[in-house]
Amino acid sequence: MGPKALCLMIFCALMAWHMHATFSADYEEPWRVLFIHFLERFFHIMASVLENLGIMSYWEFYSIITQVYMKGPISDENITVTETKINDILVRYYVPKRNSHKLKRAIIFFHGGSPKFAKIALLPYETFARQAANRLDAVVVAPDYQQSSKYHSQTQWNDVSDFVKSLLHPETLAKYGVDPTRVCITGDSAGATITAALTQQIMGDSEIPIKPKFQTLIYPALQMLDTDLPSFRENEHTIVLPKSLAIKIMSEFYTTDESLQQALKSNQHIPAEYSHLFKFVNWSALLPERFKKGHVYTNPIYGSSEIVEKFPGIVNPILHPLLASDSMLRLLPLTYILTCQHDVFRDDGLMYVTRLRSNGVQVFHEHVEKGFHGSFFFISWPFHTNLGSRLIDNLFSWVDENL
């Protein structure tokens, strides 16, 4: 046996051992999920090795391999798809072709994934936007974010905030035949973070004439104060988004400086002067009882002021919706929140459900016991799952009924 074959066998054996050690059978379609888990771990290892060798960055590798999974703005017999650049961000419009004398509904869709490489052109997001436009007879507006490493959270936030504000005007919506009383904002993962933050800002701004009828948040990430929630502990080695990768993505919203990443891992990154914010993420008070089982709440261990002074955005309620005041939350519209059991961000969504309901906001909450972060968008070959298709069907039915 040659050395290359031996190395390959050793690598495969180590991969098999690692996956056996970290994979839970508590998933729907476990063999299909295991295939997804294998590819995710393989790509993660390749990206990490190439970055450590100085060949390319972690996210450059993902940008390259996802190119084969991109789809251009191609119209079909049902939908006209156009793409344009507005305020330095790329925006796709999906407009149904069917003739109707009635004004259409509109869905503003913010995709998830890492802002370093994910785009609306990525096939699962593109498929979702196209299906939403066709099945709901709705105009779907899907903005991208700036993705260069020099653009971090505040720039991305300013981009999308300015764009959505310009969109929510009667004359703008009239160009696309949209009923201004039937507009919603939706997003998954990082896109759900933007959706929640934007909805708070829009509802609190009297100068924005059109308000969303509701928001839909698919496994949202809503805070960076506490990275030791029960969901972080339980899902440290979960598939698709283990704790280490989640922390890497969160920190790189702000900086490539690894000091923030290390501080988040230690969960001692918030100084005592921000102690008043911890009531908004106190899982012992905000989580339903069944999600607390087996976990003991401990008071926060405060860190130095250095991290917050360097990266003040991590305690900014505008960027982290779970930190918003009760008075802000009372302004919010009907909200749909989906959470998954096997997800580090599960408890962010669960605590937001509790806080919204405590402040009189009507919430429809769907919790997926055998779901994981990303479940919603495994809807395209070769990563299609029945769970992903069912979750989208459920969401479309709810949107159709409420928009």
How does pLDDT run across 201-211, given as a tens digit for each residue?
Answer: 999 999 999 99
- The three-point CA angle 342-346-351 to 5° equals 155
Catalytic residue of the set 111, 320, 342, 373? 373
Q: The domain at 70-223+316-402 falls in which architecture?
A: 3-Layer(aba) Sandwich (3.40)
Cβ neighbourhood burial of 318 (10 Å; 0-12, 13-18, 19+): middle
Residue 194 CB-half CA count within 13 A: 32
How far apart CA 26 and CA 232 sit, in angstroms, is 17
Catalytic residue of the set 153, 189, 251, 375? 189
- Residue 393 annotated as catalytic: no
User: Residue 23: what pLDDT?
Assistant: 53
Residues 150-167, mean pLDDT to the nearest whole number: 74
Check whether 282 has a pLDDT greater than 90.
Answer: yes
Check whether 155 has a pLDDT greater than 70.
Answer: no
CB 239 within 8 A of CB 36: yes
Check whether 30 has a pLDDT greater than 50.
Answer: yes
How far apart CA 134 and CA 16 sit, in angstroms, is 42
Nearest to 141 by CA among 112, 170, 171, 173: 173
- Residue 148 annotated as catalytic: no
pLDDT band at 153 (very low <50, low <70, confident <90, very high): low
pLDDT band at 9 (very low <50, low <70, confident <90, very high): very low
Chain-centre distance for alpha carbon 52: 27
Q: What's the distance, Cα to Cα, between the start and end of the chain in Å?
A: 64
For residue 302, give the DSSP letter: -
CB 342 within 8 A of CB 24: yes
User: Residue 2: what pLDDT?
Assistant: 56
Check whether 369 has a pLDDT greater than 60.
Answer: yes
- Residue 188 annotated as catalytic: no
Chain-centre distance for alpha carbon 273: 29
For residue 113, give the DSSP letter: S
| Per-residue model confidence as pLDDT tens digits over 168-223 | 989 999 999 999 999 999 999 999 999 999 999 999 999 999 999 999 999 999 99
pTM of the model: 0.91
Query: How far are the Cα atoms of 1, 13, 18, 49 from residue 10, in angstroms, in the given order?
Result: 12, 5, 12, 16
Catalytic residue of the set 144, 226, 228, 343? 343
Scan for tokens 């997926």, then name that residue.
Answer: 368
